[in-house]
Structure 1
Amino acid sequence: MGKQVMVSLCCIALLGIVGCECFQCEQKAAPSPAPVKTVEPKPAPAPAPATNRVSRIYGDKLGCGSVRIDKELPATVQLGQPFTCTITATNLTDVELSQVTVNDRIPANFEFKSADPAATPKDGMLTWVIDTLGPNASKKMTVTGSAKEVGWVQNCADATYVILACAKTQVVQPALTLAKECPAEVLLCDQIPLKYTVCNKGTGTASNVMISDVLPDGMTQATGQKTVDIKVGDLAPGKCMTYTVVAKAAKTGAYKSGASAKADGGLKAESEVCATAVKQPVLAITKTGSEKQYLGRKVNYEITVANKGDAAATNVVLTDSIPAGVAEVVASDGGQVAGATATWNLGTIAAGQSRKVTIGYLPQSAGSFSNTASVAATCAESVKASAKTDVAGIGAILLEVIDVSDPIEVGKNETYIITVTNQGSAPDTDIKIECKLEEAMQFVNASGATAGSHAGGVVTFQSLGSLAPKAKATWKVEVKATKPGDVRFTTTMTSKQLGREVMETEATNFYQ
């Protein structure tokens, strides 16, 4: 008669959670193994099978993860001879199972030899713990031993498992960087663009990002604020935001500052210090020329424009006013004369350099001639310089004396005409005429540009206040010839402009 081996299996189903989805199955106690009934073997029509195989499913396959245990061993074995039992645990679900525990009970009539994977009997039990059993995966275990007595060797296996309640959260680390860009050099009149670029080079969103910059003394935003505060908001990983702020400087100098950025969670970033040199061209002008000049000669001026600042002066334009009453205006170095203005386009004058030009003209009359030159350039204050020249004429008076009738008979009257002509370019003033009569002359009358009087043989005319250039003044003295002779009529003239008196003598022949 053949011998049969009966195998009993047990299982406990547990609650399982995977990821963010929860799978719950009804907890069921594993069914107790059915009692083994001894059945008298009956003659079989066919040979007995070579192995016995038993399968049991643990858990509700429709509701959650389930494990099937397959146990296979020889149908008959010889007393004392080793044989092997194979146990296979299979995950019948599409989710991963954790802590799958397979327990195999060692019956009293079974001599345990070895297990693969290794397991050590404890309290009549072999236990294997499979950390994870993937979806639809299987794990095989074997037990090798021998029967201690003739009869039935019956053992049971059960399995428990856990569907893990797993949830995950991503651990991120935002990381801020901040760069500040500014021009290395500007002019004082220029706007100063300040460029801020904040980036998140980390792995998570940076929240409530803020950029701040305290501007250096003397620099403000174009709108007047002393600080820069930019609300960036949230900044995703790998994203950058760029902002430009327009600033201005109140004076020349070096301006340095760095910016900072911050975000929730104590995130901070500092930019490198950004430096801008603010410069300005500073113009200076001088105008020199003769303080005095005589009429008929040209008046010349030299104009010097210098840049005393620390930046090049560009678009330099020099103008000079031309006074009225002049002619023959000549401007050097390409100066253009239009109306009452001479203009020079001097272009660029480097810091510490200067340019010189000249201008000249011919005054048409005596007087004081004053004019002003001014210069302007980009981002430079306009400056002016004036010069004045007093143009004086030259007084040159001519004294002429003639007798009307020469010779003259004794007893008759002779008239002497005195003429003063201003041949110069300036008025002659305070002109005085005095005539001396000889003994043979008897005073009769005096007339002319000013009133005259006679006393002691001298005729004196009142002073002539002014005689304009090219003008003439005439006086007459009438005398009576009293005795014959070669007589002389002597006239002297003085004026404010003359350094000494002028004398003129006219000879007349008195005959009897």
Structure 2
Amino acid sequence: MDSRQGWMKTWGVAVSAAALVVVSGCCSLDKPAAAPVAKAAPAAKAAPVFAPSTGCPVVGRDGANIVTRQAIPTGAEASSVMLLEKSAPAEVAVGQEFAYTIKATNLTPCELDEVVITDTIPQGIAYKSSTPNGVQAGNVMTWDLGSIPGRGSKTITLKAAATGTGEYTNCVRASYKEKLCLTIKAVEPKLTLDKVAPAEVMVCDIIPIKLTVKNPGTGPATGVVVTDTLPAGLKTADGKTEVRFDVGTLNAGESKEFTLNAMAAKTGSYVNKAVATANAGLTDDATATTVVKQPVLTIAKTATEMVYEGRPVTYSVTVTNKGDAVAANTVVTDTLPAGVQFVSATDNGAVVGNVITWNVGNLAPAASKTFGITGKAVAQGRHCNKAEAKATCAEPVAATACTEIKGVAALLLEVIDVADPIEVNGQETYVITVTNQGTAVDTNIKIVATLEDTQSYVSSSGATVGTASGKTVTFAALPALAPKAKAEWRVVVKAVKAGDIRFAVQLDSDVLDRPVNETESTHQY
């Protein structure tokens, strides 16, 4: 009930020297005429006996105690809110402390608030104490019991003593407040967004981005949308620059994850921001920064610029990482041209056919590695050597260096006399042989033979036509003499005087910087 109600119960206590019991109340049990009563032997305690309920307070007996009870407010427990019970000895002796109880029971399943019990102590009864403690104002005791839970009860125990003989009636009152409650739950949805992306990747790597949207509030967030707008230079695998996730409703405590893969077009630092929104103006954002790096290889190649056939050719290859990331799985190859034969390589270069390979592994930023190759020039001409370098996520690079392999002409001049010695007036034939022992063609080969005064010119023949002028025989120039080829000329002379003769021959060509001279001795007698 919303208003405070008061209810009263009474009981009577008789006090006499003969310990005569007299019970009185507004409603009571029928009792016999007063007469001396002999004490009976103690018997087993029986349940209290009450008169039928009439809506008024009901009085009963509980052994030596009288008990009065009242169902409030209707008088019937089935339709009432509180049951108030008071129990006290039917008879007490003057000056002897006795105890009585007041019990309030909540008959409903709901809580009763502000329960207050008051007990009026009659004249002739002296209050001693109570449990719990009450507040005394004159002869009125008050207990504020607070709340009594549904179907629960609270009991007050008082101690008092009679100061004189007689019958004493004291009354107890109870008041309470009923409440009608309606619980309304107030909820508040919230929105948080978390974004995770790698701090550093290579330009050829996929950038995995994970978005987690969560409702840490107490109510559902509706119309949730997550939008990730990629910065310039980043795109998804299918070329998008913005990705939208329609989440819908996100219940309290619920979270959802989304992933997307991005690729970077170039190196740099990319700041990527995503935004989550929902109805009722809910919003949150999250940012992740990814630094995109790349190894950048450069290669330099040198070679012997010119070499003669048969001589060594040397190559140098230098690979440098000018990028900002490690060049992983770096491999350098060098392909020898057909005119160069492999001899050796530094740093354990592996040779298969005419290809030398170095497995460098990791090449740190700003680091360089140089390799060397030695070959042999085996064919004339311009021969170019190509070196290549590649690494994970790096653009492959190549460099070429060329070598001019030349042949060299090496002319051998030989002069012999056929009939040495010879008699005066006899003839001697000199055979002149020029051999190209080199590896290149020699051109414009010229032979000039000189006779001494003791000899006279007879004839000449050979690779070219000879012309005699006095003691000198000059042969027309031979246009070319191939490597390993020979050319032969003959000069026939007549001995005109005895002596130790020297037949002289001079050789010249385009390759020779100065003539070659050869003599042949002949004894004439």
**Normalising by the residue count of structure 2, what TM-score does the alignment of the two structures yield?**
0.66
- 2:297 is the counterpart of 1:283: yes
- The residue that corresponds to 1:503 in the other structure is 517
Q: Is the 8 A contact 2:456 2:496 kept in 1?
A: no
In structure 2, the residue matched to 1:219 is 234
Structure 1: runs of 5 or more not aligned: 1-48, 71-89, 99-131, 139-160
Matched, 1:268 2:283: yes
What amino acid is aligned across from residue 332 of structure 1 in structure 2?
T
Secondary structure in structure 2 of the residue aligned to 1:399: strand
Residue 408 (structure 1) aligned to one of 394, 408, 422: 422
- Structure 1 residues 377 and 137: alpha-carbon distance in aligned structure 2, compared to 1, 3 A threshold: closer
Alignment of 1:233-248 (within 5 A): 233-248=248-263
User: Aligned AA for 2:496?
Assistant: K
Which one of 487, 496, 511 corresponds to residue 483 of structure 1?
496
Q: Say whether 1:258 aligns with 2:273.
A: yes
Indicate which of 184, 204, 207 corresponds to 2:219: 204
Match of 2:443 in 1: 429
- How far is 1:478 from its partner? 2.7
**Is the 8 Å Cα contact of residues 434 and 487 (structure 2) preserved in structure 1?**
yes
With normalisation by structure 1, the TM-score equals 0.67
8 Å contact from structure 2 (residues 385, 400) kept in 1 = yes
Work out whether residues 430 and 465 of structure 1, in 8 Å CA contact, stay in contact via their aligned partners in 2.
yes
Residue correspondence of structure 1 range 49-88 to structure 2 within 5 A: 55=55
SS of corresponding position for 2:316: strand
- Distance verdict in 2 for CA 1:67–1:408, change over 3 Å: closer
**C-alpha displacement of 1:247:** 0.4
Residue 189 of structure 2 aligns with which residue?
Answer: 174
Look up the equivalent residue of 1:293 and give its one-letter code. Answer: V
> CA, structure 1 residues 192+68, in 2 after alignment: closer, same or farther (shift >3 Å)?
closer
2:357 equivalent in structure 1:
343
Q: Indicate conservation of the 8 Å contact 1:66/1:91, yes or no.
A: no
**1:97–1:163 contact (8 Å) kept in structure 2:** yes
The Cα offsets for residues 251-306 of structure 1, whole Å up to 9 and x where unpaired, read as: 001111221101111110111x3111100011111122321223333212121111
Separation in 2 of the partners of 1:222 and 1:379? 17
Tell me which moved more, 495-504 or 467-476. 467-476
Tell me what 2:400 maps to.
Answer: 386
Query: Distance in 2 between the 1:244 and 1:337 partners?
Result: 47
CA contact under 8 A between 1:179 and 1:196: conserved in structure 2? yes
Distance 1:302 1:51 in 2: 128
Segment of structure 1 superposing worse, 410-419 or 278-287 = 410-419
Q: 2:483 — aligned with what?
A: 469
Q: How far did residue 193 of structure 1 move?
A: 0.7
1:265 aligned counterpart, secondary structure: helix
Superposition pairs for residues 95-244 of structure 1, below 5 Å? Answer: 169-244=184-259
Secondary structure of 1:348's counterpart equals strand
Give, in angstroms, the shift of residue 500 of structure 1: 0.9
In structure 2, how many angstroms separate the alpha carbons of the residues matched to 1:295 and 1:94? 117
CA RMSD in angstroms, aligned pairs only = 4.2
Q: Do the aligned partners of 1:399 and 1:421 also contact (CA within 8 Å) in 2?
A: yes
User: Following the alignment from structure 1 to structure 2, what is the Cα–Cα distance between the partners of residues 311 and 325?
Assistant: 38
> Structure 1 residue runs of 4+, over 6 Å off?
56-59, 65-70, 90-98, 132-138, 161-164
Distance, in Å, in 1 between the alignment partners of 2:479 and 2:344 is: 38
The alignment status of 1:295 with 2:309, answered yes or no, reads yes
**Cα distance in structure 2, aligned partners of 1:398 and 1:69:** 148
CA contact (8 A) 2:191 2:216 kept: yes
1:318 aligns with 2:332: yes
Alpha-carbon shift at residue 444 of structure 1 (Å): 4.1
SS in 1 for 2:402: strand
From 380, 395, 417, the equivalent of 1:366 is 380
| CA displacement at 1:411 relative to structure 2 | 4.7
Pair 1:509–1:69, CA change in 2 (3 A): closer
Give yes or no for contact 2:198–2:208 (8 Å, CA) kept in 1: yes
Tell me, yes or no, if the aligned pair for 1:55 and 1:69 is still in contact at 8 Å.
Answer: no
2:354 & 2:204 partners in 1: Cα distance? 31
One-letter code of the match for 2:259? T
Q: Which residue of 2 aligns with 1:125?
A: none
How many residues align structurally? Answer: 402
Conserved 8 A contact 1:402-1:418: yes
Shift of 1:228: 2.1
Q: Distance in 2 between matches of 1:136 and 1:310?
A: 79
Corresponding residue SS for 2:311: coil
> Once structures 1 and 2 are overlaid, which stretch shifts more, 298-307 or 393-402?
393-402
Paired with 2:221 and 2:209, the residues of 1 have a C-alpha distance of: 23
Check the 8 A contact 1:191/1:246 in 2, yes or no.
yes
Cα drift, residue 66 of structure 1: 8.6
Measure how far apart 1:384 and its partner are. Answer: 0.8
Q: Which amino acid aligns with 2:283?
A: K
Q: Which residue in 2 is equivalent to 1:86? A: none
User: Which residue of structure 1 aligns with residue 10 of structure 2?
Assistant: none
CA distance in 2, matches of 1:468, 1:482: 36
Shift of 1:475: 1.2
Rounded Cα–Cα distance in structure 2 between residues aligned with 1:349 and 1:238: 49
Which amino acid is 1:233 matched to?
G
Question: For residues 212 and 416 of structure 1, do their structure 2 counterparts lie closer, same or farther at Cα, with a shift above 3 Å needed?
Answer: same
How far, CA to CA, are the matches of 2:256 and 2:451 in structure 1?
A: 113
Give the letter for the 1:270 counterpart. D
Which runs of structure 2 are paired with 1:445-464 in the superposition (5 Å)? 445-455=459-469, 458-464=472-478
Structure 2 counterpart SS, 1:310: coil
Change in Cα spacing, 1:179 to 1:483, as seen in structure 2 (3 Å) is same
- From the superposition, tell whether residues 50 and 195 of structure 1 become closer, same or farther in structure 2 (CA, over 3 Å): same
Distance 2:418 2:149 in 1: 156
CA shift for structure 1 position 456: 5.2
Give the direction of change, closer, same or farther, for the CA distance of 1:133–1:508 in structure 2 (3 Å limit). closer
Conserved 8 A contact 1:295-1:363: yes
